[in-house]
Structure 1
Amino acid sequence: MSSIARGGRYCKYLRKSRADELREAMGEMETLAKHDKALDELASRLGIEVSCTYREIVSGESIQDRPEMQKLLAAVRSGEWDGVLTMEVERLSRGDSTDQGIVGKAFLFSDTLIITPMKVYDPRSESDMEYFEFGLFMSRREYKAINKRLVNGRIASVREGQFIGKTAPYGYRKAVIDKMKTLVPDEATAPILKEIFDLYEGGMTMRQIARRFSRMGIPAPGGQDEWVCTSLSKMLRNDVYIGKVHWRRYVYKTTLADDNVTVVKQSVPNSAPLIYDGLHEPLVTLEQFERVQMALKDNKAPKKDGTVLKNHYSRVLVCAKCGHGLRYDEHRANPYLVHRNSDFCRTRSTTLAKVDDAVVSALRDMVSDFEVELSDPSRSLRAKRFEADTKRLTAAIEAAKKSLGDNYDRLERGILSETEFVDRREVLNRRIDEATAELESLEAPDTSDLDQKISNLKELIAALRDKNVSGMSKNKLLKSIVRRIEYRNGEPGSPDQMQLEIFLK
């Protein structure tokens, strides 16, 4: 049976629960800091040293939504740790039975201890594992019960007309009046919001309004310098401005990916959201809002049946400076990829043929590099980069650990005070944790899939060169292999000096 070894390798896992977030909202101490201190004290009592801390900042229900848990499980499976310190076993998983099984098997097969202030769970002990699994099961039931109460409370608040959104819509700021959450007009942005409705109703297009406000130097929603049509469109359609509040305007549609394992969540509009009269003051009259909705409907371009996709780089090729995609256009029967008109990001457009040539050239270089890697893995750029990064991070960790040891020595000799020692230790431990996390995230070059990658790239090259392959087919093939292509070029009127950077999946 496993036991706590003083010279073993141990780490901490910290995560907030829903109850912790509620207590913090009521003014209690920050949870992760409190738990971090408690686990340090536990490690000190047990006489063990913690060399890494996994801090879960996001609050995700499943493992795939919690990046630090994914890193921890990968390390546990590889046998990196003899034990993991956490406040409760429930902190490790509150997901469904699949998630709980993943967590349980990772600790069981790697013989990794789970150390909590109340109990040490030994994966080789049948009774401990039963207790562990029962704890996760009860945690899941508690999570569902808490979530149900929270949802019911939110629905009740919306029915009362309260605004419970995370951020206030443009033109408002959040407030609490008579213990009720609501919105009040923002002195700086409410007049601008009203002007947007007035201008659009008066015949201005969203593009003209966006350009007008950008040139006037009015900050866009989120603080950006440039206004965009998508933000204006959402504002003009948002009935919060006529005093409404909603519950579940969008819902999550859950499906399984092609591997039948990965859960994919997609936010989609709810066909039947709950809409109530809000407590807040409307910024737009109902009559004006309805006139704007009619104008939006009239200006919406009808969909054409049998539309042919001409830009096979759609949703793949983006401007590296502003992130917007390039649109397809034709000039004298010559296909172009055109950058949008903008006063803030002025990037030269170029012909579709030049982009094709550059992409094909870059893909051929990738094929050559992969073929070199396949014949001699040590010569590849990926291998050299991995080796250099590994050496750099390992050296940084060793240097920080040496400094930590030197500080212990200075403390014993009275050169450092306890306060100075604690401050320096915190800085060095953070440095070690960050370098360790980066080191763990490095992926050694894997040559097992190179044959398939080379085959896929050659297929894509052939498709891009074949005029008989439709734009839709090219686009689908691109999206299956390439994550994105970043486009750089000079300003309009300058020489065409296009540069591309291709990111594969």
Structure 2
Amino acid sequence: MDKYLMYLRKSRSDDPNETVEQVLAKHERILQNYASAMLDQKIPEECIYREVVSGETIEDRPEIKRLFELMQSNTIKGVLVVDCQRLSRGDLIDCGTILQNFKYTNTLIVTPKKTFDLSNEYDYKSVKSELMAGSDYLDYMKAIMQRGTLQSVLEGNYLPTRTPFGYKKVKEGKRRQYLVPDPETAPYVKFIFEKILEGYSAHAIGLMLDDLGVKPFMAKYWHERTIKRILSNEVYTGCTVWNRHKVEKRIVDGKLKKVRVRQEKPLIVHDTHEPIISKEMFDSVQKLMASKSVKVNMSKELKSPYAGLLRCKLCGRMMRYQGEKGRNVPRYDCSGIRHCKNMSTNATVVDNAIIEALKSNLEDFKIKLNKTDEEQIQTKKNMISDLKKSLDKIDQKKERIYEFLEDGTYTKEKFIERINKLEIEKKGIETSINKIGSTMPNRNEWKEKYATLNEAIDMLQNPNISAKSKNTFLKKFIKVIYYEKHERDSSAPGHGAVTNSKNVNIEIVLK
């Protein structure tokens, strides 16, 4: 019996009031009834592919990629879909990928209205036209939806899925949804704005809220970033802000990716809901925060060479550098020390522990360099070179096979058989190349890292080099430095601050 697959996906043309599960279940019933009546079989569960994620492109849809992989096995007669546009309403590249997969695997596209065989020129053009029409329809629907969304925002509706702290979202009918102050949390929004104007820092305000038992959304404790986001959000003045960030498609590392880009001029609609604070208070806070940020940037010199690198091993937060105060020597502590059990220690201990960790890495590279066999490296390079030549030959064979198909020398069955064999052979060679490459000693890279580590150790031991210069250099080859300490250090009275400690554990992750 011929083997068929079923592919199910919800589309924008479906009833928006129905869930993905409801739409897929309805379409499955239609296709199962068709399969029973016209194909004399029922599609088994393991042959049904349900796309539950929302993805415009093939790359974003895992089920259709699994479907295409199975089609290459040359055991699938056809794929059942409600209509061709369920396969894709994406861009030209996706349309071409679909056409190629069905044509060159000789797989039928089966819909209740018609079965398409893409080896037939008329069917090929028909499916191509339908997919392209779907792509145009998708662009049209996007434009319509964007206009509808914009109109809804201008009418005063609050559309973001996340409700801001201090508010509740109220719905009236199907079209109206807006914000109202939450009597339990709104007073704390005003508290945050008042305290920042009184001179308290965002960190201090967060500690106050923790002591009061007030919980932020999606977290156990308050972080100064959360406080600052509240202080800079115009929503508390009764405005709705739309399109503060916009998702744009960009080519990153040769691949098309979606990137969130902050917009310089987002849409701000005034008087959409009851404000919690006045516009005057909000503006005063913005001026205060701007002046603080300029003051910090202009006057504070970097004190720690590990800024942006040293992290708490227990909670993942950044370690803070605490400058010398009175009799206290400079120290490092976790920025979440109030809620983290990682203990602080003086800066000299951290310096010495990091230098020792770098020396340990240095010794590892020295051992690798001494054990490296140049003859072994060259042998592996030659093996990889020979394998790459084999890949080139396979590509040349594939070109000839396509030519044989076009001029009628090969039948479709013979073409698919030869192509599949070459693909299996190609994957085997690529696996061998990757395996050899992973075991290849990279002597030049080790030499560079060895020299870099030596230089870093010398810099850290030189008090005449600024913390900023050290920090810039370390960030070139260090990804993160993890710090951990569970027990206090002890020293005899009068012996001064501890300079080395077995209680401090440092882990350096290189780039």
Counterpart of 1:55 in structure 2 is 50
CA distance in 2, matches of 1:34, 1:274: 40
What count of residue pairs does the alignment treat as equivalent?
419
Q: How does 1:10-409 map to 2 (within 5 A)?
A: 10-20=4-14, 22-24=16-18, 30-45=22-37, 46=39, 47=41, 48-76=43-71, 82-177=77-172, 179-222=175-218, 224-259=219-254, 262-301=255-294, 302-303=296-297, 314=308, 319=312, 321-326=314-319, 339-348=334-343, 350=350, 351-353=353-355, 356=358
Relative to structure 1, is the Cα distance of residues 304 and 452 closer, same or farther in structure 2, using a 3 angstrom cutoff? farther
The residue type paired with residue 23 of structure 2 is: T
- Report how far residue 297 of structure 1 moved: 0.9
The residue type paired with residue 13 of structure 1 is: Y
* 3-state SS, counterpart of residue 17 of structure 2: helix
RMSD: 4.4
* 3-state SS, counterpart of residue 18 of structure 2: helix
Kindly indicate whether the alpha-carbon contact (under 8 Å) linking 2:354 and 2:506 is maintained by their aligned counterparts in 1: no
TM-score by structure 2 length? Answer: 0.68
Relative to structure 1, is the Cα distance of residues 95 and 326 closer, same or farther in structure 2, using a 3 angstrom cutoff? farther
CA distance in 2, matches of 1:83, 1:456: 53
- Report how far residue 240 of structure 1 moved: 0.8
Relative to structure 1, is the Cα distance of residues 344 and 309 closer, same or farther in structure 2, using a 3 angstrom cutoff? closer
- Report how far residue 36 of structure 1 moved: 4.1
Kindly indicate whether the alpha-carbon contact (under 8 Å) linking 2:483 and 2:505 is maintained by their aligned counterparts in 1: yes
CA distance in 2, matches of 1:86, 1:502: 49
CA distance in 1, matches of 2:25, 2:367: 49
Aligned-residue sequence identity (percent) comes to 28
TM-score by structure 1 length? Answer: 0.68
- Report how far residue 230 of structure 1 moved: 1.4
Kindly indicate whether the alpha-carbon contact (under 8 Å) linking 1:327 and 1:337 is maintained by their aligned counterparts in 2: yes
- Report how far residue 42 of structure 1 moved: 4.5
- Report how far residue 473 of structure 1 moved: 6.1
CA distance in 2, matches of 1:76, 1:213: 58
Relative to structure 1, is the Cα distance of residues 78 and 161 closer, same or farther in structure 2, using a 3 angstrom cutoff? same
Q: Structure 1, residues 215-244: CA drift from partner, whole Å, max 9, x if none? A: 43322122x211111111111111011011
Relative to structure 1, is the Cα distance of residues 149 and 300 closer, same or farther in structure 2, using a 3 angstrom cutoff? same
Q: Structure 1, residues 22-74: CA drift from partner, whole Å, max 9, x if none? A: 2327xx97323333444444555532435244433332222333344444445
Stretches of structure 2 lacking an aligned partner (at least 5 in a row) = 345-349, 381-429, 460-468, 490-501
Q: Structure 1, residues 382-406: CA drift from partner, whole Å, max 9, x if none? A: xxxxxxxxxxxxxxxxxxxxxxxxx
* 3-state SS, counterpart of residue 256 of structure 1: strand
Q: Structure 1, residues 393-434: CA drift from partner, whole Å, max 9, x if none? A: xxxxxxxxxxxxxxxxxxxxxxxxxxxxxxxxxxxxxxxxxx
CA distance in 2, matches of 1:79, 1:457: 45
CA distance in 1, matches of 2:212, 2:339: 13
CA distance in 2, matches of 1:323, 1:43: 54
- Report how far residue 276 of structure 1 moved: 1.4
Relative to structure 1, is the Cα distance of residues 200 and 138 closer, same or farther in structure 2, using a 3 angstrom cutoff? same
CA distance in 2, matches of 1:462, 1:329: 32
* 3-state SS, counterpart of residue 79 of structure 2: strand
The residue type paired with residue 438 of structure 2 is: L
Q: Structure 1, residues 346-389: CA drift from partner, whole Å, max 9, x if none? A: 33565433554576788999999x99xx999xxxxxxxxxxxxx
- Report how far residue 76 of structure 1 moved: 4.3
The residue type paired with residue 463 of structure 1 is: T
Relative to structure 1, is the Cα distance of residues 214 and 129 closer, same or farther in structure 2, using a 3 angstrom cutoff? farther
Kindly indicate whether the alpha-carbon contact (under 8 Å) linking 2:7 and 2:79 is maintained by their aligned counterparts in 1: yes
CA distance in 1, matches of 2:126, 2:298: 61
* 3-state SS, counterpart of residue 161 of structure 1: coil
Relative to structure 1, is the Cα distance of residues 101 and 326 closer, same or farther in structure 2, using a 3 angstrom cutoff? farther
* 3-state SS, counterpart of residue 30 of structure 1: helix
Q: Structure 1, residues 413-466: CA drift from partner, whole Å, max 9, x if none? A: xxxxxxxxxxxxxxxxxxxxxxxxxxxxxx989426426794696355653443
Stretches of structure 1 lacking an aligned partner (at least 5 in a row) = 377-442, 480-484
* 3-state SS, counterpart of residue 489 of structure 1: strand
The residue type paired with residue 355 of structure 2 is: A
CA distance in 1, matches of 2:337, 2:131: 53
CA distance in 2, matches of 1:453, 1:239: 56
The residue type paired with residue 115 of structure 1 is: V
The residue type paired with residue 291 of structure 1 is: S
Kindly indicate whether the alpha-carbon contact (under 8 Å) linking 2:478 and 2:508 is maintained by their aligned counterparts in 1: no
Kindly indicate whether the alpha-carbon contact (under 8 Å) linking 1:184 and 1:280 is maintained by their aligned counterparts in 2: yes
Q: Structure 1, residues 257-305: CA drift from partner, whole Å, max 9, x if none? A: 233xx11332122122221114211111111111111111111145469
CA distance in 2, matches of 1:202, 1:266: 38
Q: How does 1:379-458 map to 2 (within 5 A)?
A: 446-447=434-435, 449-450=437-438, 454=442, 458=446
